[in-house]
Structure 1
Amino acid sequence: WPEWVELAGGDAGDIKPNIVFNDYQLTLQAALAGEGIALGWSLTAQQLLNNRLLVKPLPTQIQTDRAFFLLASEDASKNKRCKVLVDW
């Protein structure tokens, strides 16, 4: 939360999280159960938003320098299915 608040232009100095999960899926499940507000990645939360299982309480969306990466051996490109994924 502190990083999100700062990137959104706020002061995160007094933020103290109530509940901390070490698993993103547990975070989403808690939000789905009405336990509070969760930060989510658009890639993984978009379907829940589209199906109106979750709502976006603020219009603010933060883009970070973080990304997903795929590491594959050279042998992976020999398998057609793996090559499709690697090329994507």
Structure 2
Amino acid sequence: MLGVLERELTLGPDGEARYRERLNELAVEDESELARRIRDREVDATDDRLVTALWAITRDRLLVSNPKYLSGEVDDQPLHARA
């Protein structure tokens, strides 16, 4: 638990800024709005910008909560975008 706290203190502020920037790029205020827009098909769930943003958000969260999931060779691209 202390490791998570240390990582949150170290990585949290930059991660939060990147998170807000990604939501802003997707033209939504928060995750609830994004989920609603995806559910209502206002946003294409296969759009590369969306998938890339969601992957980056997930990766940033894992860096704080459990970086072991990202150990080894980590590709910053979602699986479907890898060639």
TM-score, length basis structure 2 = 0.25
Q: Which has the higher contact order (CA 8 A, sep 6+)?
A: 2
Larger radius of gyration: 1
The structure that is helix-richer by fraction is 2
TM-score, length basis structure 1 = 0.24
